């Protein structure tokens, strides 16, 4: 095995430390002790290489050392290898492939949904199609993590797939030209009630501004007079994209967020512009304990300017700004360079000192620990900028109206059915319930009035037992309501697609239903804030 020389290690770590700190004067003053530590590292590295009981990989040792150094900082500073960085970046920049969501069911790549406008959509692939061959070789029995390696590739390259579809006598071959696939930042936007629009932002990516503007224009054309903006489960993304979303709702010249760090150039302020398009639209914003970072910038700015009513649960509490520092080998350091603050001066970051990373990332999902954090009297108090309402900093965005829901109310039987790799509901619907239903009923009628009949329930019970799933008659009857719902959910997905499935799921969304009851309150806050602003 090729060994890395001692003086190479010295140069590598001296430059790394110099670059990370950016404080050359400090390094000069403490140069002797720093040199000694780097010499120590080099000696330990060489000793391991030469005398450790098993042969070691130089690259792994160095990457582990880097990760150890990074892990001593805050929980959000991370080092990514080239492969991990590419995977992480897909959520925000997209990737090159064929544009499907899939699972491997009974050894076959099964398409769960097709990304609209993507390469697979263009050639006519459908939900529940099964890919059984790739580039002339069988794909039956392929492992799930091997699929992206076969289907992704450089933009413009070709991949040939063999597809099975119910109703076809023989499989058919498709040649697909790989292209850039952007994971939607705004996956759902529709009218949820007469005059009430609904927009879900799943992440803040490079395309969020355009997608969000397109969604607003679509809903305006359908008569939107008020809006529910859903930021639940949104872990953040690009700060600039969050700023551009807020910009649609505030008059020009309002500070949206500012950042401040140790280095002078990390102080930045972001203001609304003249691009405001919906300054007088009543607005409810939904957040939960997984809403973080850029989501908190949006919710915090709209709350501080008394521009929206915030409903749900206290958000995650991530107020640290990460800069991306790409390395020559394709790896990258995502390093915290500043903290961000809402317009009223709230720092949203939750305390992380004297906690392991595991404790920090899990405590927000522990109800008892959350109560302690929310009741902490030492948290700094601020006031909203128009109506002078009290708001707290140092621990996420607290909603104006708290409404929590239980994380999981499903029985063990239903969880086993839903999360089985066999995907029982999907496969049963695909085999037995999709035929001709789309021509017999419109989706809105299906949503409001369709019920799975007793014959299909009995056949489903026989089907899952034949597949080896153990369930008693008593358990089946006890969970009948949930079984009916998940069968209907799979029907919506298989026949009408993702948005149909999502709309059906919303009928069980208690937080969303609660938010809809407070739309009039959001209108009152908007009118009060406007009146006070006019006087001042």
Contact call for residues 500 and 491 (beta carbons, < 8 A): no
Helix (H, G, I), strand (E, B), or coil: what is residue 372? helix
Number of Cβ atoms within 10 Å of the Cβ of 515: 25
For residue 29, give every residue at least 6 positions away whose Cβ sits within 8 Å of its Cβ, in sequence order, or none. none
User: Cα–Cα distance between 519 and 204 in angstroms, integer?
Assistant: 25
Copy the structure tokens of residue 221: 């054309």
Structure tokens at 278: 């919906």
**Cα–Cα–Cα angle for 349, 351, 357, rounded to 5 degrees:** 105
Q: Is 405:457 a contact under the CB 8 Å cutoff? A: no
The SS3 call for residue 42 is helix
DSSP string spanning 76-118? T-EEE-HHHHHHHHHHHH-EEE--EEEEEETTEEEEEEE-TTS
- How crowded is residue 137: how many other Cβ atoms within 10 Å of its Cβ? 10
* Dihedral sign, Cα of residue 386, residue 392, residue 397, residue 400: negative
Q: Which residues are catalytic?
A: 293, 304, 318
Query: How many residues make up the chain in this entry?
Result: 536
Strands 283-287 and 309-312 come out as parallel
| Half-sphere exposure of residue 165: CA atoms within 13 angstroms, side-chain side | 16
Strands 179-181 and 172-177: unpaired
Q: Which of 339, 352, 361, 347 is nearest to 392 (CA)?
A: 347
Question: Is 86 exposed, middle or buried, given 0-12, 13-18 or 19+ CB atoms closer than 10 A?
Answer: middle
Residue 293 host element (H or E): none
Exposure letters 273-293 (e unless 16+ CB within 10 A, then b): eeebeeeebbbbbbbbbbbbb
């Amino acid at each position: 095995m090729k060994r890395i020389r001692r003086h190479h290690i010295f140069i590598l770590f001296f430059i790394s430390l110099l670059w990370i700190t950016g404080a050359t004067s400090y390094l000069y003053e403490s140069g002797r002790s720093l040199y000694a530590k780097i010499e120590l590292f080099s000696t330990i590295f060489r000793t391991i290489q030469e005398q450790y009981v098993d042969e070691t990989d130089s690259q792994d040792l160095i990457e582990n050392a880097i990760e150890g150094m990074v892990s001593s900082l805050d929980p959000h500073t991370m080092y990514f290898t080239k492969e991990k960085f590419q995977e992480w970046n897909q959520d925000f920049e997209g990737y090159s492939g064929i544009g499907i969501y899939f699972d491997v069911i009974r050894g076959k790549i099964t398409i769960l949904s097709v990304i609209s406008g993507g390469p697979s959509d263009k050639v006519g692939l459908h939900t529940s199609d099964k890919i059984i061959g790739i580039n002339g070789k069988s794909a039956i029995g392929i492992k799930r993590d091997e699929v992206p390696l076969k289907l992704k590739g450089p933009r413009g390259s070709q991949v040939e797939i063999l597809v099975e579809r119910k109703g076809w006598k023989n499989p058919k071959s498709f040649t697909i030209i790989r292209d850039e696939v952007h994971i939607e930042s705004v996956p759902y936007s529709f009218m949820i009630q007469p005059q009430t629009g609904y927009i879900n932002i799943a992440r803040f990516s490079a395309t969020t501004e355009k997608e969000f503007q397109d969604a607003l224009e679509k809903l305006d054309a359908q008569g939107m007079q008020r809006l529910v903006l859903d930021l639940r489960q949104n872990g953040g993304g690009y700060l600039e994209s969050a700023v551009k979303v807020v910009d649609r709702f505030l008059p020009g010249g309002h500070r949206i967020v500012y950042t401040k760090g140790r280095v002078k150039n990390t102080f930045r302020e972001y203001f609304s512009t003249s691009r405001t398009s919906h300054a007088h639209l009543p607005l409810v914003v939904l957040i939960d304990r997984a809403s973080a970072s850029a989501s908190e910038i949006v919710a915090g700015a709209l709350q501080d300017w008394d521009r929206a009513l915030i409903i749900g649960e206290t958000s995650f509490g991530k107020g640290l700004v990460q800069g991306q520092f790409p390395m020559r080998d394709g790896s990258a350091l995502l390093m915290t360079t500043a903290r961000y603050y809402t317009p009223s001066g709230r720092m949203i970051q939750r305390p992380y000192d004297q906690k392991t990373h595991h404790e920090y990332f899990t405590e927000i999902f522990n109800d008892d620990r959350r109560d302690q954090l929310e009741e902490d009297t030492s948290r700094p108090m601020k006031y909203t900028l128009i109506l002078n309402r009290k708001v707290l900093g140092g621990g996420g965005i607290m909603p104006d109206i708290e409404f929590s829901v239980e994380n999981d109310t499903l029985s063990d039987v239903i969880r086993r059915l839903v999360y089985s790799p066999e995907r029982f509901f999907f496969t049963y619907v695909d085999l037995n319930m999709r035929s001709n239903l789309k021509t017999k009923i419109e989706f809105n009628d299906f949503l409001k009035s369709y019920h799975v009949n007793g014959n299909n329930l009995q056949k489903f019970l026989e089907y899952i037992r034949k597949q080896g799933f153990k369930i008693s008659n008593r358990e089946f009857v006890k969970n009948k309501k949930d079984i009916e719902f998940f069968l209907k959910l799979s029907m919506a997905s298989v026949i009408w697609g993702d948005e149909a499935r999502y709309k059906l799921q919303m009928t069980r969304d208690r937080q969303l239903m609660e938010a809809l009851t407070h739309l009039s309150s959001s209108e009152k806050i908007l009118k009060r804030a406007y009146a006070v602003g006019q006087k001042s």
